[in-house]
Amino acid sequence: MAVDTGGKTGRRPGPTSSRDAILRAARTAFTKRGFKGATLRLIAADAGVDPALIRHFFGDKDGLFDAAMEIPPETVLALLDTFDAPRERWGAELTRRYLALWEDPLTAQPFLTMAASAFANTAALEKLRTFVGSTVLEAVRLRLRDEQAELRFALAMNHLIGIALARHLLKIEPLTALGFDELCALLAPAVQRYLTEPLP
Amino acid sequence: MAVDTGGKTGRRPGPTSSRDAILRAARTAFTKRGFKGATLRLIAADAGVDPALIRHFFGDKDGLFDAAMEIPPETVLALLDTFDAPRERWGAELTRRYLALWEDPLTAQPFLTMAASAFANTAALEKLRTFVGSTVLEAVRLRLRDEQAELRFALAMNHLIGIALARHLLKIEPLTALGFDELCALLAPAVQRYLTEPLP
């Protein structure tokens, strides 16, 4: 199964995509060099634009960082395409789709940054809570036609989130040692159970 | 099953426990009033000691905060008493023991503080990683006699951690709406499976 993790296929041509090119270059630079090491000059060069264009779009480096580390809602909502698959594949689909986002440092970094902000300040936490509570769970209700849709999805997703943080943030040895397919095979049955089997 | 969540039974008598009394008062004050609102004078009064004694033990407010928010290793290691129960109860035992720590704000706060520090700075992350990697997983290896002991425990625990963060930090609605027993009943089967059933 192919999962489009986005942002890996290089720069798109054409002037309308300058903003996207800057965001991709910024994500790479911030992930590889940290906030301090990633200069606007470097990011501009990598994106093939003039540094003035970065200022035009994002104001300053803080503005660019915020934009680069924003998780696109469509990335999260794409997880719900899981429910287009046959029901017996839901556990495997959701597991792969979600964990694949973490395997690429470029897509993982915004998740880590969001988690860190949510821990550090109440405003970011509130923003995340609203996004999950309204946008995501609302969409889940529509896609997963089940009285306990939100509970099922919350159990499945937060199981996966705990494992993703342990593997990619804490880097707990037995979890980092696993291959991606192996990890997915271990987790899919529990996710499947939460999504489809009768709950106690 | 009774779970001793600690720190709830009030002040122990006797001079040797002043340090503990201060830590308990500090945990309450920081949790209820935040770092700024919790004054040393208030904490000293609540612990029934002179503020000078706080300075003697912990230096300043920062030192007291660090000590109060440290998760006692024995709290984590007590989770391993799970493996004294009959094997078929391990999932239920570990689930209850761990999640009970989060139900009381006084014991939950150090977990949240630790998670926040781990996200915010590399030193705290490294400390946590070392504690989990050596102390905890070492102990697991001894208690859970199984070739895949560490992997099993890591899967079970990080599943539970993801749910605990969603319920107590993000406060995701379908998870906060559940009673404690209900939540444990939902999660125990997956935890049991990770701990005892053949892994793919």
pLDDT of amino acid B93: 97
Q: CA-nearest residue of chain B to A123?
A: B170
pLDDT of amino acid B16: 57
Among all chains, which residue has been given the structure tokens 């923003």?
Answer: A127
More confident residue, A110 or A84: A84
Residue B79 class from Cβ within 10 Å (0-12 exposed, 13-18 middle, 19+ buried)? buried
Residues in chain A closer than 8 A to B190 (CB atoms): 159, 190, 193-194
Q: List all residues 6 or more positions away from A18 whose beta carbon is below 8 Å from its beta carbon.
A: A47, A49, A53, A57
Residues in chain B closer than 8 A to A162 (CB atoms): 158-163, 165
**Cβ–Cβ of A169/B119 closer than 8 Å?**
yes
Average pLDDT for A70-80: 82
Nearest by CB: A119 against B119, B163, B194: B119
pLDDT exceeds cutoff 50 at A150: yes
Digits of tens for pLDDT over chain B (200 positions)? 334 444 444 444 455 589 989 998 998 888 778 788 889 999 999 999 999 999 999 999 999 988 888 877 788 888 999 999 999 999 999 999 999 999 987 788 888 877 777 777 777 788 788 877 777 888 888 888 888 999 999 999 999 999 999 999 888 889 999 999 999 999 999 999 999 999 98
> CA dist B198 to A194, B4, B146, B150, B194, Å?
19, 32, 11, 14, 8
Show which residues on chain B lie within 8 Å of chain A, measured between beta carbons: 112, 115-116, 118-120, 125, 128-129, 132-133, 137, 148, 150-151, 154-155, 158-163, 165-166, 169-175, 178, 182, 185-187, 189-190, 193-194, 199-200
Q: List all residues 6 or more positions away from B108 whose beta carbon is below 8 Å from its beta carbon.
A: B101, B102, B168
**Cβ–Cβ of A174/B150 closer than 8 Å?**
yes
Q: For residue range A21-31, what is the model confidence (pLDDT) as tens digits?
A: 999 899 888 87
Rounded Cα gap, residues A113 and A38, in angstroms: 16
Among all chains, which residue has been given the structure tokens 């079970």?
Answer: B156
* pTM greater than the 0.90 cutoff: no
ipTM passes above 0.95: no
**Cβ–Cβ of A158/B171 closer than 8 Å?**
no
> CA dist A6 to A3, A16, A27, A100, A132, Å?
9, 18, 12, 11, 21
